[in-house]
Amino acid sequence: MDILFLSSRLFLGENDGPDFINGGIIVTTEGKIRKILRGAGEVNSYVYTHESEAVFDFEDKVLMPGLIDVNVHISEPGRNDWEGFSCATKAAAAGGITTILDRPQYSVPFTTSLENLKCKVTTARGKLFVDVGFWGGLIDNNSKDIEKMVQSGVMGIQCSMCPLEDFPATSSEEIEKVLPLLDDHILAVHTELPLQKPINPNPLEPKMYKTFLDTRPESMEINAVKQICKIAENHTKTKFHIMNLSSSKTLTLMEASKKKGANISVETCPHYLFFNAESIPELRTEFKCLPPIRTSPNNDNLWEAIKTKQIDIISSNHCPCTNSAKCLSFGKNRGNFIDAFPGVSSLQFSLPAFWTKAREHGLGIRDVYRLLCANPAKLCGIDSFKGKIKEDYDADFCIWDPEVEFKVTPDINHSQNKPNPYMDMTLYGRVHATVVRGLHVYQLDEGFGQPLGKVVQRKSFKKIVKFC
C-alpha cells in the first residue's frame, strides 16, 4: 500500500502559484511519488476512499524537496578518524539533505582512478543514511582514468588549480587535454592559483586570523577564474563549475565570459555568507578554509550576487578533521592558523546558517529551493528524478520549521568531530525530519532510521561500467 505525507505548508517548487499549499503526497512502496494532492479537499477525498500503509501529518511544518549538497569531503577510507560515511550522512540527514556528492581529495587513496573509485564505493555501502554520488578526481597525468570514471557513473570530474594538502594541482594544459573525455559530464574546479612569490605568514602572530588571510589574497582566485573563463570560452560545449567561491570580484569575470558563450556555473558556501574576516576571533581555527573567509564588503557583495542570481548553488564544502589537525588540542600550538588544517565542518548546518542570514536579506523559500535543491540537482544530472516534488520522482523530502530557533551544541552535531564555526550560535530553521525515497532517515525526537541510502550514478552517453 502507498504512504501518505501531509503538510499545510507543502512547497512543490513550481514556478507558478503560491509558495505553499495545504496538501499531500502519495508515495509508493518503491519510494516514488505517485500523486500530489493539491488542497484539503483532495486530501480528504483520498483519505475517505483509500487506505494507506501509513500517514505522516507534519501539520504546519514546511515540507519541501530534499536538499542536495554537491561539495562534501568524506575521508573514508584512509582517514576514518576525520569523517566517515556513517557520520557524514547522518549529519546530512539531520540537516535536511537527502543527497550529497563526495569530493576526491582527502581519502586514502584519492578518487582519481576507477580502481580507487570502486574502493571508495565498496567502503561506503551499508553505511549511508542518505544517497551519495561521487566526483572523480583529475590530477596531472591521470587522463587515461577519466573516461573510465565517467563511464562508471561519477557525477562529474573535479580538480584543483592549487595543491590541497597532499592532493596535487592540475594545470590548465591538463584540463584542456581531458575535455574531450568528459562526455556530458561537468568539470568542477577549485579556483586558486599559487602566487608566483608566496606571502610568508607573520611568525609573531600565528594565532590571529589575519595572519592566515594575508597569505591567500583575492588575486589567487581572480587569476584562476580568468584561466577557467578563457578555457570555457574556447570550449563552449563543456560545462564548467566553480566550487566554493569566496571572492566576489570574480563574478564579473564569469558574467563577461558567459556573454561570450562560456557555460559556467558557480557556488558559494554558507560560511562565506554568514561570517566576515573582521569578526573571526583569535585562536578560532574552525574558521580556516580555502579559499578564506574574506572581509565584510566582500560578504555584502556575495549576498547581492545571490539576489541577482549570479550565484547558482549553495554548498557546504564540508571538510572536517581531527582536533589535533585543526590545532584545537591543548598545547602551545592550539589556535595556530598557520599550521591548522584548512576546512570548515558545516554539513548539518548549511540550511539553518543560510536561512538565518537569508531572511535578513529579504530572501524566501524559493531562494532556498533554487540554491539548495533545483540547481544542485541540475548540476549533477539527476534532475530527472531528484530535486522536485513531482510524479515519478524520488520521494526525497526535507521537513523543517523556518521560524524555530535552536542553539548549536556538540550534542546535536552528528559529524565525527564536533568543532565548527557555528558552535554556541543560535540559528533559525530547525529540521524536523528527513525522508529519502519514502523512508524516514531522520526524525528530530527519534533519531535515525536504518542506513538505507544508495550510491547514485550519473548516466553516461557511453556504456556504463557499474560500480562493484
Q: What is the pLDDT along the chain (468 residues), one digit of tens a residue?
A: 899 999 999 999 887 778 999 999 999 999 999 999 999 999 999 988 988 889 999 999 999 999 999 999 999 999 989 999 999 999 999 999 999 999 999 999 999 999 999 999 999 999 999 999 999 999 988 988 999 999 999 999 999 999 988 899 999 999 999 999 998 899 999 999 999 999 999 999 999 999 999 999 999 999 999 999 999 999 999 999 999 999 999 999 999 999 999 999 999 999 999 999 999 999 999 999 999 999 999 999 999 999 999 999 999 999 999 999 999 998 899 999 999 999 999 999 999 999 999 999 999 999 999 999 999 999 999 999 999 999 999 999 999 999 999 999 999 999 999 999 999 999 999 999 999 999 999 999 999 999 999 999 987 655 544 544
Give ranges for CATH 3.20.20.140 in the chain.
Answer: 66-380
CA angle 237-238-239, nearest 5°? 120
Class of domain 66-380: alpha beta
Give ranges for CATH 2.30.40.10 in the chain.
Answer: 3-63+392-448
Q: Whole-angstrom Cα distance, residue 361 to residue 339?
A: 36
State the pLDDT at residue 52: 86
Residue type, 419: P
Q: Whole-angstrom Cα distance, residue 151 to residue 464?
A: 5
State the pLDDT at residue 467: 46
Residue type, 102: D
**Phi then psi dihedrals of residue 29, to 5 deg:** -70, -15
Strand 21-27 and strand 33-37: the pairing is antiparallel
Q: Whole-angstrom Cα distance, residue 447 to residue 444?
A: 6
Neighbours of 236 (CB within 10 A): 11
Determine the topology of domain 3-63+392-448 in CATH.
Urease, subunit C; domain 1 (2.30.40)
Q: Whole-angstrom Cα distance, residue 231 to residue 238?
A: 10
Nearest 10 degrees: Cα torsion 329, 331, 336, 341: -40
Helix (H/G/I), strand (E/B), else coil: 189 = strand
**Phi then psi dihedrals of residue 155, to 5 deg:** -75, -20
CB 240, CB 232: distance < 8 Å: yes
Half-sphere exposure of 253 (CA within 13 A, CB side): 21
193-224: buried (b, 16+ CB within 10 Å) or exposed (e) per residue?
Answer: beeeeeeebeeeebbbbebbbebbebebbbbb
State the pLDDT at residue 460: 64
